[in-house]
A and B are shown apart, each in its own frame.
Chain A
Amino acid sequence: MSLRESIHSARRFLFGDSARAFGSVSAVLLVVLAVVPARDHFREWLHYQNEYQNLIRNRRDGVSLARRFQGGVQQVWLPQLGVVDRCGTCHVAMKEVSLAGIAPQPFHPHPPIPHSLTEFGCVMCHRGQGAATTVAEAHSSTLSWENPVLPARYTESSCGECHEQPLTGTPRLDDGRDLLAQYGCVRCHKVASPEGRTIAPSDHPPGLKHVAEKTSREWIFAWIKNPQSYASSARMPNFQLSDADARDISAFLISQSTPYLPEADQKIPPIPAAAGADAVQQGASVYGEAFCASCHAMQNAAGLMVGGNVGTELTRVGSKVKPEWLAQWIRNPGIYSPRTVMPHYRLEPKNIGLIMSFLGSKTDSDFLSNVHLDPATAEQIAHGKRLVTEKGCASCHDINGVPHPDNFAPDLSAVGSLQLSKIVFLPGMPHTLPDYISAKIRNPHSFGNALKMPQFTLSDSQVESLVTALLAQTTRATTLPAALRMPAPAPSTYEPAGSAGELIKDLRCFSCHKINGRGGDMAPDLTWEGSSVQRAWLVNFLKAPNTLRPALIRRMPKFDLSDEEANTLADYIETVYQTPAFDRNEIDAAKLGASDAAHGKDLFYGKYACNSCHIVDPNKDKGYIGPTLTQVGLRLNAAWIFHWLKNAQALRPGTMELNWNMNDDDARAITAFLMQQKAAAKGASK
C-alpha cells in the first residue's frame, strides 16, 4: 500500500464522517488537557521534596525531621523588602543543623548567620530569582531575569549593601573596601554610599612638585615604565607607556619641579653618608633600632619581603633618591611633604649618616643601566604635559600646572546594580556581573587600548575582594527601608591641643594609633591610655620603647625624644586620655594582700589558663599571643587590670582579649597577682 493510499485511508478513518471527526478532535483535545495536570504533577520541586523524604526516612532523627518538613511551595514574603522567596521549596533543610556535611544540595543546612532566614529571605544576600520554582530559573541568568545567584565567594558583598563598617564575618568585603582606598581606586572613581559619603583614599602618593630634588629623570623614566620592576610591592599601576611617552612624561615632571626650600636658611648643613668599612653594617643597626621596618619593607637575599607596608619598599632605594634629599627627609620628612605619615625622628646627624650609607647600599645596578635619555626638547615637555593630563596623573599626585581632574573615571557608586543588558562583554566571557568587574580589574586593556585605566598588580584574592566590595555598591542600598542602613559613623576630626598636640602631630602618632576615633589601627588604641598605664613606665617607654608583644614584627619606633618631650607627652596622656568608666586610682595596689595574690596565681594558671597567651615566668610560660606580663606591675594601673579582666571589650572594642565576665573576687585576686610582677626592666621580656 503506497503512502498516499495509507494517508487517504487514515483520513477516512479519522475524519470520514462528522461523528468520526468530532470524536478525533475530542480525543486530541483530551490529550492536550491531560498534559497540563501531568506537568503540574512532575514539577521539579516535587522531585526534590520526594528525594528529601527518602533521605531522612532511614535516619535516626528521621521522625523529628519529617515532623518539621512541610511539603508544597514554601515561601517567604517580605513586602517592605520586595522579597518573594520560594527557595525553601527545594532547600527544605536550611534549618536542619543535623544534616550539615551529610546531605547533598539542595539539602544543606544554612550556615549560622546573624540574621533570621525568614526575616531577610534568600535573594537579599544571594541574588537569583526568588519567585522561581525551577532550578534553572532560580539560579541562572535567563532572558527574563538578569540577576543570577552570586557565586558563594562574593556573598559578603550583600552584607555591604547595608553595613558600611567592618564586620567580623565579612573579611573579604572589608579587605576589598580597604583595597579600594589603599590602591587609590577612589582617587579616580567615585564610590559613594547612599548617604553620599565617599570612601577616602588611604594611600600616600607623593607630591611631584619638587620631584627633581628627590630623584633623577632616568629613575622616573624606569619607574613609570614599570613600577613593579623597581619595587615588587609597589602599588602604582603600570600605564603601559611606550618609551617615547615615558621619555616625554619624565621630561615634563623634571621641568615642572621647583625647589622645596625657597629659604636658604631652612637648609640643614649637608650630612654626608657615613664612610668606613662597617658603616653599612652600623647603618643597618640604626635602621633596625629605629624600627624603620615597622613601616618599610625590603626584599632579603632569599627574595622574601621583610617589613611593613605603610611606607614605600626600600629594596632598591639607593638607585632612586639623591643623598642631599635623603638627609633632609630622614631629619624631618614633614618639610618636604607636609602630609606624610612618616614621623619626625630626633636622630643625631651621625645616625642619619649611618642610615644613609645603609640605604645608599641598597642599589640595583641593572635597574637604570639601560636608561639613556637625551636632554629634553620643548616639544617633548609639552607632549609630556599633555600625556600627564590625559592619563590623569594629577588624580593622585600633586603636579605644578596640572589641576586635579574631577570625575576622571566612571562613578562606581551603583556598579553592583549594573544591568547586564548594558554591558559589552568580551567574546567567550561568562555573562555575569562579577566576571565582568573582575575582568575589568584584572586586565583593563583587554576591553580596548583606548581605555585609560592602568594595569594594577593584584593577586587573585585581592581581585576577588575588590569585586566583593564593588558588588556591594547597589541601587538597592538606596531603595531598602532606611532602618536597615548601617552607615559608618562620620570620620573623626579629633585634634589634640597644646604643645603635646604639636608633638603628637610631629611624631605622626595617628599613622599607627587610634585616638578618639581618629588614626590607624596598626598599634593599640590610646583613647584611654591614661587610665591604663603608670606614668613612670610611660615616660621610659616613650624614650626607649621595649617590646611588649614578642610575636609582633611591627613595633613602636624609637624617636630619640628629649626628657622634656617625653614628659610633656606623658603628662598629656595621663591627664586627658582617661576613661569615664572608672577612676584609675580606685584600687590601691599596696593594699592587695599576699593571699589574694596566691589565689590569683592559681586562677591565672588554673581556672583561666592565662598562660596560654601570656608570659609571667619566662622560664616556664610559653604564651606569646598576648603581651608579656613579667613587668605588668610596673606598667599598668591595678584598676585597669581589674576592669580589663572583667570586660576587656568594653575598654578596647575589638581587642583579642576574651571577654571573661569574671566575678569581682577572681578579678581582684588576679589583679593582686599581676601587680606583683615587677621584673627588672631588661632581659626578662626578651
Chain B
Amino acid sequence: MPGLIDDIAGLRNSRVWRSVFRSGSGESNLHRSLAVQQNVFLHLASVKVRRRVLKFSATWYLGTLSLGCFLILITTGILLMLYYHPSVPQAYADMKDLQFVVSAGVFLRNLHRWSAHAMVLLVFAHLFKVFYRGAYRPPREFNWVIGVVLLMLTLFLSYTGYLLPWDQLAFWAITVGSNILAAVPVLGAKIRFLILGGHTVNANALLRFYVLHCVILPLVTVLFVAIHFWRIRKDGGLYVKEKTDDRN
C-alpha cells in the first residue's frame, strides 16, 4: 500500500503530469487554488465553498440537477440525430424506426423526452427556490436575469423539439403556438412567418425548428450556462443566509 501511494506521488511529479496539470502537487491552499483555477474543466468551480451550501436543504441541488438533465439531453440528442431526418416524408417514419427496429431506440427517445420534461420542471423549481430564498438580490441580480434567460431558452428548446416527431400532436401544438405568436400586435404575422418559414406548419417549419433545436438554441444555452456559472463565482459563491440566522 505505501508503495502504491509513493507510485502515485511519483506519477504526479512526472513530466507528463506536470505538463498537463501545471499547478504541481503542493498541499498548500495556493496549490489547491491553482489546481482549480488553471484547469479548463474545473475553473468554473469554487476553490472554496462553505460546508453549509453543500447541504441538500440549501439548494435542493436544483441547479445541478438541471445541468445533469441538460447533459443527458445533449448526449441522447446527438444519438437521436443519427437516426432522424428533418424531412416531411421521413420524420415520422424515423420515429417508427426508433420504436420498432433501432436497438434501445425507445429507451433513447424516452430518456430524451423525460429528461426534457424534468429539465423544464427543475429549472422552474430552481427559479422558485432562488426567488423565495431571496437569492436574486444584489449582488446576484444580473445572474437572476441570466437565469430567466436560461428558463426562456429551456422553454424554446422544449417547444422546438415538440415539432420534430411530426405527428398530429406536434403539428397542432405548433400550429396553435404559432397562432398565439401571430396575435402579437403589428408584428405578429411577420414573426410567425419568420418562425415557420411560411404561413402554415410545413416542411420549412420542420427544418427551421430542427436547426433551432439541434444547433442554435443548444449553443446559446451552453453560452449562457457558462456565464451563469461564472457569475456565481464572481458574485461570491452560492447564496447563504447571514450568520445571524442561526438555523444554518
Spell out A's residues near B (CB within 8 Å).
35-37, 39-40, 73, 82, 84, 86, 129, 131-134, 137, 144
Contacts and interface: CB of A to CB of B under 8 A. Distances in A.
Contacts of B97: 131
A84 B104 contact: no
B244 to A, nearest CB: 30
A142 to B, nearest CB: 11
A132 B103 CA distance: 14
Contacts of A73: 101
Nearest to B96: A131
Contacts of B89: 82
A82 to B, nearest CB: 8
A18 to B, nearest CB: 10
Given A37-B103, A84-B93, A86-B101, 18 more contacts: A35-B107, A36-B104, A36-B107, A39-B106, A40-B103, A40-B104, A73-B101, A82-B89, A84-B96, A86-B100, A129-B96, A131-B93, A131-B96, A132-B96, A132-B100, A133-B101, A137-B100, A144-B167
Nearest to A132: B100
Contacts of B106: 39
A40 B101 CA distance: 9
Interface residues of A, dominant DSSP: loop
Most B C-beta atoms less than 10 A away, residue of A133, A137, A144: A144
What are the 6 closest A-B residue pairs judged by CB atoms, nearest first? A131-B96, A133-B100, A36-B107, A36-B104, A40-B103, A73-B101
A35 B106 CA distance: 12
B96 A37 contact: no
A350 B233 CA distance: 120
Contacts of B100: 86, 131-134, 137
Contacts, number: 29
A86 B89 CA distance: 18
Interface in B93-148: 93, 96-97, 99-101, 103-104, 106-107
Interface of B: 89, 93, 96-97, 99-101, 103-104, 106-107, 167
A561 B104 CA distance: 83
21 contacts: A35-B107, A36-B104, A36-B107, A37-B103, A37-B104, A39-B106, A39-B107, A40-B103, A73-B101, A86-B100, A86-B101, A131-B93, A131-B96, A131-B97, A131-B100, A132-B100, A133-B101, A134-B100, A137-B99, A137-B100, A144-B167
A39 B107 CA distance: 10
A591 B107 CA distance: 87
A50 B121 CA distance: 44
B171 to A, nearest CB: 13
A131 B93 CA distance: 8
Nearest to A75: B101
Contacts of B96: 84, 129, 131-132
A40 B96 CA distance: 16
Contacts of A35: 107
A289 to B, nearest CB: 68
Nearest to A144: B167
A134 B106 CA distance: 13
Nearest to A421: B168
Nearest to A419: B168
Contacts of B93: 84, 131
B173 to A, nearest CB: 15
B69 to A, nearest CB: 15
A132 B100 CA distance: 6
Contacts of B107: 35-36, 39
A503 B104 CA distance: 78
Most A C-beta atoms less than 10 A away, residue of B96, B103, B104, B106: B96
Most B C-beta atoms less than 10 A away, residue of A36, A132, A134, A137: A36
Contacts of A132: 96, 99-100
Contacts of A40: 103-104
A417 to B, nearest CB: 16
Most B C-beta atoms less than 10 A away, residue of A37, A40, A129, A137: A40
Nearest to A84: B93
Contacts of A131: 93, 96-97, 100
A683 B143 CA distance: 114
A131 B97 CA distance: 7
Nearest to A45: B100
